[in-house]
Amino acid sequence: MKQLESVNDFVVRFATVNGSGSASANNLFAKAVFRMGVPVSPKNIFPSNIQGLPTWYEVRVNERGHVGRRGDVDMVVAINGQTMRQDYDGLVPGGYFVYDSSRPLPEDFRRDDVTAIGVPLTTICNEAFDNVRMRPLLKNIIYVGALAALLDMEFEVLADSLRKQFRKNPALAEPNIRALELGFSYARDHHAGACKLTVRRSDRVGDAVMMDGNSATALGAIFAGATVVGWYPITPSTSIIEAFGRFAEQFRTEDNTGRLKAAIVQAEDELAAIGIVIGASWNGARAFTATSGPGISLMSEFLGLAYFAEIPAVLIDVQRAGPSTGMPTRTQQSDLLTCAYASHGDTKHPLLFPCDPRECFEMTADAFDLAERLQTPVIVMSDLDLGMNDHYGPPLAWDENRQYDRGKVLNAAQLDALAARWGRYRDTDGDGICSRTYPGTHPDKGVYFTRGTSRDEYSAYSEDGDTYVRNMERLRLKWETVKRLLPLARIKMTNAEARLGVVFYGSTTPAAYEAIELLHRRGIAVNSMRIRAFPFQQEVLDFVLAHELVFVIEQNRDGQMRTLLINEGSLPAARLVPIASYDGLPVASRFLTRALEEALAERGVILPKTAPDQGGTR
């Protein structure tokens, strides 16, 4: 048997049960890899319940900085009896199977291409610790210790992390560190050299951080000055609001009074949540909500109101696998169409597509500027993978000189200075955007009536067809302004002659870049474009038109971004080849490589075979 061998390039999967405290232990491991200077990417794959069901935590270690999911598993830490069989069978040839050897491995676990590594976790734990309630937690730490030894990791990095964690409670730190030691020394003593996967200290990490997208999003809202939140709990968006609440306590408490410079309203449902956002934005506060697919569906009527009455609103859609309740704890990018055209009638909404926590931060902050400048809802399209998993990436950055762009809002002095009659829906400078006022601004001037019904330039109710059309055409013009203000796509024209292009967006990004790099290394010329916003600027359309064949990679069945491109860009459909990965797991680079290969082969391009250079063989 050829054992997998690799330094800083492999995938470990922890197979556990939820509610057993394993998540924090697994995180301890991932964080330790990171702190050894090696890029790492953990993916938590958890069920839609609270306790007792299978949960996996997949950690990719990759020196080269490929932190998308890779696909395939090189090593399993099999703690969950329920899934042991499937975890065992799923290992790649040459892989490692770490299990609790307090009970013998069942008879029929006899693959000869897998290295089984037993650690008697339960026995060690029970012998060492008397506190019955603490044991499950400490058992988790024991396997982390063992794993550290198997992978040649620096013990002190892990111990340090634990110490930091339990800073406030050294009494808890102590048994944890002991558990770590117990696991570490058992593995060192009994399995020295058994495992040829290694984590070795590196300097690749630089100033990178490990952060979940939802925290970054919450920070974006804090930094951008959001003060009103209307929300309703739903996985995977809830943690944005929780984080916003924590940060608000930290950074938004009034010094003198201890009161909060923010109002976080847990609404009765999503309709109310977006209503609160619209009411608050209308009244001059920066407001947002975060939700997921079902919430978007419920917000649809209100989004139409905000579009038509031209009220800013920021909405974060942390997408999960649909349709309907679908797989609520799995990821997908399948709300694009619904968000782009939410609500009946001729409506359209700008979308932003962050690809990592840094962009979650930036784009959320930008969304407030855009929404207020454009006086329309702006939707940030995150997803479960991006939002809930920790991501290795660049640190967040805030320009000290940045000023909030509050858009065209007239204050009392400006109203007094107006020469001509003011009209709420009168476009005076040709960008389709009119000026608004906040209630209470001026005793006599700038008052207007907001409604979802048709009205004239002066906000008077009107059923006149021409007035209606004039207004709708202005909104169409505004849509052109939208394009000018949105972030540009990231286009990489590595080869001006290339006839192939690849398009992707959001959390697909790292896996896509990895697959593209592989194509490059096989000599295939291909350019890439990461879309960052809808509607599309001319550059986006030009990219597609500049290539004979453009692969559009997305995590949905129906090719929703492709649809938007064809529609809004009037692009030739035949040229846009959909590549879909939508099983609810974060897209894997190996899957993409295969899918691209196949798609190319179908079109007569056969790639030279090269061995994949990552750990694993498939």
Kindly list the residues in this chain that would bind ligand TPP in the complex (CB under 6 A): 232-234, 270, 294-295, 298, 325
Minimum distance between the CB of residue 325 and other proteins, rounded to whole angstroms? 6
User: Closest Cα partner for 579 from 605, 598, 603, 564?
Assistant: 598
H or E, element range at 235: none
In the bound state, the residue with its beta carbon closest to ligand SF4 is 50
570 binding a copy of itself? (CB under 8 A): yes
Name the binder of 194 from ligand SF4, a copy of itself, other proteins, none, CB < 5-8 A by kind. Answer: none
Q: Kindly state whether residue 50 participates in binding other proteins, applying the rule CB under 8 A.
A: yes
CA angle, residues 567, 571, 573, in degrees to nearest 5: 90
Classify 332 in phi/psi space as left (phi over 0), alpha (psi -120 to 50) or beta: beta
Contact indicator for 615, 11 with CB cutoff of 8 Å:
yes
Touching other proteins, residues 137-156 (CB under 8 A): 137
Residue 227 binds to other proteins (criterion: CB under 8 A): yes
Q: Least distance (Å) from ligand TPP to the CB of residue 517?
A: 39
Shortest reach from residue 482's CB to ligand TPP, in Å: 27
* Cβ 450 to ligand SF4 shortest distance, Å: 21
Restricted to residues 53-82, the positions that interact with other proteins (CB under 8 A) are 53, 82
Shorter beta-carbon distance to ligand SF4: residue 51 or 169 = 51
Residue type, 567: N
Neighbouring-strand partners of residue 382: 318
Size of the residue set binding ligand SF4 (CB under 6 A): 2
CA-wise closest residue to 370 among 479, 517, 215, 276: 479
Tell me, by CB under 8 A, how many residues bind other proteins.
Answer: 109
42-61 binders of ligand SF4 (CB under 6 A): 50-51
User: Residue 209 binds which one of a copy of itself, other proteins, ligand TPP, none, with CB within 5 to 8 A depending on kind?
Assistant: other proteins
CA 275 to chain CA mean position, Å:
25
Q: How far apart are CA 411 and CA 437, in angstroms?
A: 7
Q: How far apart (Å, rounded) are the C-alpha atoms in residues 232 and 390? A: 23
User: Rounded distance, CA 552 to CA 362, Å?
Assistant: 25
Does residue 18 bind ligand SF4 (CB under 6 A)? no
Before 535, cis peptide (omega within 30)?
yes
The only residue of 275, 312, 322, 559 in contact with other proteins, by rule CB under 8 A: 275
Nearer CB in complex with a copy of itself: 440/452: 452
Among 34, 88, 288, 308, binds a copy of itself (CB under 8 A): 308
- Given a contact cutoff of 8 angstroms between Cβ atoms, the answer to whether 502 and 528 are in contact is yes
- How many CB atoms neighbour CB 107 within 10 A? 6
Residues 6+ apart with CB under 8 A from 218: 240, 241, 243, 244, 246, 247
Residue 392 vs 505, nearer CB to a copy of itself: 505
Residue 315's H or E segment, with its range, is: strand 313-319
Binding site for ligand SF4 (CB under 6 A): 50-51
Binding site for a copy of itself (CB under 8 A): 47-48, 292-294, 296-298, 300-301, 304-305, 307-309, 321-330, 332, 334-335, 337-338, 341-348, 451-454, 463, 465-466, 468-469, 472-473, 476, 556-558, 560, 563, 566-567, 570-574, 582-585
